[in-house]
Amino acid sequence: MINFLFRGLIRDRSRSFFPLIIITSIVAIIIFFSGFLNGIYNSLFFNTALVNSGHIKIVTHAYNLEYQLLPNDLALLDSDKLINDLDEKYQDYIWTRRITFAGLLDVPDSNGETLMQSPVFALGIDFLSNNSKQLKIWNLDDKITKGKIFSNENEILLSERLAERLNVNPGNIVTFIGSTMEGAFSTYNFLVSGIFNLNLGPIDKDMMIVDIKGAEIALDMKNASSEILGYEKDLFFDDKETVLMRNEYNTQFSDTTDVYRPFMLALRDSNQMSTIVDFSNVIMFIIMALFLIVVTLVLWNMGIMNGLRRYGEIGMRLAIGETKGHVFRSMIVESSMIGFLGSLFGTMIGISVTSYLEKVGLDYSKAIDSLNSSNFAMPNVFYPQVTSELFYIGFIPGILATVFGTMLAGRAIYSREMAQLFKELEA
């Protein structure tokens, strides 16, 4: 019977072609829109994850209590061993060391004496080790506006605003003044290799980026880290997963009061991020739910219209002796087949487009530039995100709405009386 109905659909283009195109298009739009929303959601948190918190991070318990003071005397020791353990246990995450510190940046005159000084907020990131993925994650090449990325631990990158304030250019030598991990006075000469702009509002105002080896030497922090950050391998932020990981990890140390015990923090645990994460989750859910309701109504309506359009055909089939139940069931099977194929094609197209844009991104630079006065850290390029839910989300409205629409239209079959039917056919 299915084979018979399928051939009927192929031969009668009015029953298959247009409904198929509509379902395919709508399902593709659903998938792209869902992927786009995922991308926006991820982008909103990606910059926070990138600069501050990772998707998840580990610090010492004592460091966490005073994190605003950047207390490197409370840093994690023996970081390599800790990272090896994390790599083994949480293989879906990339784990990397970070030294966050602050101090003064001093620019010398020709006699080597102080010409200019400015406060600096510095990030020591593992860019140059063999297996590091941080260069790719930071995409620094695209953010450098002058000079080049550093090639060794004695070179640094300065933010545009900091470089402008200090009047330094690539090739200049500057001296970092701060404190070592043990609190000793520390001065260290760095060569400015490049100037960058993260396009993240005030975040990079006083920022200096250095390879972690440079930070280790300047602050006497061999194999110590302020934080160990974890990034999901596809850079996709999953709030629930990070919360579960945090709870599970911290349970291991619940029986100790050692203030230097490792302490895991999910992204939502940083700087009041939980409110923003919760708010974003609710907003994304509402937007997606409204969109799904609208497209479901459209497909449902299409199913109804398709059924009603075949009013005459159904009458004829009933007149020549087909039972009402058989007609109804055949219409449901037909709409299921159309819905399934439309959803399949739509999912394929939707995922292909989303996947392509996931790589190239949607550039909103011009629109964002017009908001220059705003200090909100907005990314300039949005990258839609292909997630597992995209593979099934289109099938729900694609099949169900079409079938329910047909079922609703099919109710008319049962309400038609044979006597009335013949009169209609005669007319």
Q: Which residues bind other proteins (CB under 8 A)?
A: 62, 66, 73-74, 104, 106, 108, 112-114, 117, 119, 175, 177, 179-180, 182-185, 187-189, 220, 260
Q: Which of 217, 287 has the CB closer to other proteins?
A: 217
- CA separation for the pair 160, 179 (Å, rounded): 25
Q: Which of 189, 420 has the CB closer to other proteins?
A: 189
Residue reference for tokens 């709870």: 247
Q: Which of 71, 201 has the CB closer to other proteins?
A: 71
Q: How far is the CB of 77 from other proteins (least distance, A)?
A: 9
Pairing assessment for the beta strands 207-211 and 155-159 based on DSSP bridges: antiparallel
Q: How far is the CB of 49 from other proteins (least distance, A)?
A: 29
Q: How far is the CB of 192 from other proteins (least distance, A)?
A: 15
Q: How far is the CB of 104 from other proteins (least distance, A)?
A: 6
Q: Which of 109, 426 has the CB closer to other proteins?
A: 109
- CA separation for the pair 71, 55 (Å, rounded): 21
Q: How far is the CB of 172 from other proteins (least distance, A)?
A: 13
Q: Which of 16, 154 has the CB closer to other proteins?
A: 154
Q: How far is the CB of 109 from other proteins (least distance, A)?
A: 10
- DSSP letter (8 states) at residue 225: B
Q: Tokens representing 96?
A: 């990397």
Pairing assessment for the beta strands 144-147 and 93-108 based on DSSP bridges: unpaired
Q: Which of 260, 340 has the CB closer to other proteins?
A: 260
- CA separation for the pair 406, 45 (Å, rounded): 42
Residue reference for tokens 């399934």: 340
Q: Tokens representing 175?
A: 């001296």
Q: At what angle do helices 311-319 and 402-415 cross, to 10 degrees?
A: 50
- CA separation for the pair 138, 147 (Å, rounded): 17
Q: Which of 8, 183 has the CB closer to other proteins?
A: 183
Q: How far is the CB of 74 from other proteins (least distance, A)?
A: 7
Q: How far is the CB of 221 from other proteins (least distance, A)?
A: 12
Give buried/exposed letters for 107-134 (b at 16+ CB in 10 A, else e): beeeeeeeeeebebbbbbbbbbeeebeb
Paired strand residues for 174: 190
Q: Which of 180, 280 has the CB closer to other proteins?
A: 180
Q: CB-hemisphere CA count at 13 Å for 312?
A: 4
Q: Tokens representing 390?
A: 């995209």
